[in-house]
Amino acid sequence: MIEVGTAIPSHEYEINRALLKQYADASGDQNPIHQDEAFAKSVGLPDVIAHGMLTMALAGKYISDWAGGSQNVKEFSARFTKPVIVPAGKSVDLTVSATVLEVIGKSVRLEISATSQGVKVLGMAKALVEQGN
């Protein structure tokens, strides 16, 4: 039974430099701050950071899985509050969870939480999904 306040189990995704390159190629966003450590540091970042839209794409996968498929996601919004920092040679987590905010017939509004290395990386993240399509 889905009701307001229902907590949806969290899922952990792995992000590493290879995934950033793969996302850059798939999305067309080749900004060097997502691939080139020297460049990222030269513009004041601590290290290479993930594309905010990669974080959002992974959160979108989480929502799609819960909703029974991408076709059931009707609205999706988020603020990029902190970068996901991706050091060379290791994978970092993106841990996504959600809570049911509102149920209107077949439509469910979710509030999404996303953290990496314990830091909240998405703010005001919400989605509207329709179940059972």
Contact 63, 13 (CB under 8 A): no
Least separation in angstroms between residue 64's CB and other proteins is 6
d(CA 102, CA 75): 14
Largest CA distance in the chain: 51
- In the region spanning residues 82 to 121, those forming contacts with other proteins, defined by CB under 8 A, are none
Site string for other proteins, 47-66 (x = CB under 8 A): ----xxxx-xxx-xx-xx--
Beta pairing, strands 119-120 & 122-130: unpaired
For residue 65, the minimal CB distance to other proteins (Å) is 9
Q: How far is CA 64 from CA 14, 21, 57, in A?
A: 18, 23, 10
Taking CB under 8 A as the binding criterion, the range among 2-10, 22-30, 96-104, 108-116 that sits at the site for other proteins is: 22-30
**Interface with other proteins (CB under 8 A):** 13, 19, 22-23, 25-29, 31, 43, 51-54, 56-58, 60-61, 63-64, 69-71, 73-80, 124
